[in-house]
Amino acid sequence: PSVLDSFALLSGQLNTLNKVLKHEKTPLLRNQVIIPLVLSPDRDEEIMRQTEGRVPVFSHEVVPDHLRTKPDPEVEEQEKQLITDAARISPDAAQKQIQSLNKMCSNLLEKISKEERESESGGLRQNKQTFNPADTNALVAAVAFGKGLSNRRPPGSGASVQSGQPGAGAIIAGASGMQQVPMTGAPAQQQPMLAGVQMAQAGQPGKV
C-alpha cells in the first residue's frame, strides 16, 4: 500500500506539471535562461558520459562557452553586415553570382582531378619496365665474353696474306678471320695487334 500511495502521489504531481507546462500562459522553456548552480573544477564522469567525452569538467571557464545562446558581438556584427549586403542584391544578380561560383568550383575540381590522374599515370610509367633484363644480360655477355657468337668462318677467309700485299688486303683478310679463339699457347706465338687485327707474316696465314 505504501508503494501504491507513493506512485499515486508521483503520478498526480506529474499530471499537474504537464498541465502547467501546456497552459497557454506558461512561457516557453527555450526562452528561459539556464543558470548553473554548481561549478566544480573536478572531473565529472556523468558530464563526460552525457557529452560523449567533450566536456570533462563543468567549471567557470567552460560555462560561458557551453551555455551561451548568442554569438560574440563581433560575429553578430559580421552576420548583420552579410544579411544587409545580401538584401541589396537582386535575385537575378544573385543567380548569376551563384552560377559563376558553381562554374569556378567545377573548373577547380576538374583541374584537381586532372592533376591526380596525371600523377597516377606518371607513377605507372615510372614503375613500368622498359627493357628486358634477359636480353640485356645476353648482349653484355656476347660483347664482353663472346658468349653465343658463331664460330663458323666465312668462305674465302682462309687465303694466306703475304707481307708484300697492301695493308687494306691484310686488314680485310684478318678481319674475316676474327673469331673466338681460346687464349692458349706460348706467348712467343702471339703477334702484336694493330687496330684489332694481327698482321700476317710472310708465307703464313693470318691469325687473329
d(CA 160, CA 177): 11
pLDDT of 157: 53
How big is the CA angle at 42 (ends 36 and 44), to the nearest 5 degrees? 70
Going by the DSSP 8-state scheme, the letter that residue 185 receives in this structure is S
Q: Which three cell numbers mark 21?
A: 507546462
Domain residue spans of the chain: 71-117
- Amino acid 99: pLDDT: 94
Number of Cβ within 10 Å of residue 45's Cβ equals 8
So what's the pLDDT on residue 128?
A: 66
d(CA 160, CA 202): 9
- Who contacts 173 (Cβ-Cβ below 8 Å, separation ≥6)? 157, 159, 161, 200, 206
- Cα 181 to Cα 146: distance, rounded to the nearest angstrom: 10
- What is the C-alpha separation between 72 and 126, in angstroms, rounded? 54
Q: What is the pLDDT along the chain (208 residues), one digit of tens a residue?
A: 899 999 999 999 999 999 988 888 888 877 777 777 888 888 889 888 988 888 888 888 888 887 877 888 899 999 999 999 888 888 899 899 999 999 999 999 999 999 988 888 776 666 666 778 888 888 888 888 888 777 766 665 554 444 444 444 444 444 444 444 444 444 444 444 444 444 444 445 555 5
CA angle, corner 46, sides to 36 and 34, nearest 5? 20
- Residue 207 has a pLDDT of 57
- The type of residue at 193 is M
Burial class (CB in 10 A: 0-12, 13-18, 19+), 123: exposed
What's residue 126's pLDDT? Answer: 66
Contact in structure between 181 and 190 (CB atoms under 8 Å): no
Question: What contacts 24+ positions apart, CB below 8 Å, involve 153-157?
Answer: 153/177, 153/179
What are the grid coordinates assigned to 25, written together?
500562459
pTM exceeds 0.75 for this model: no
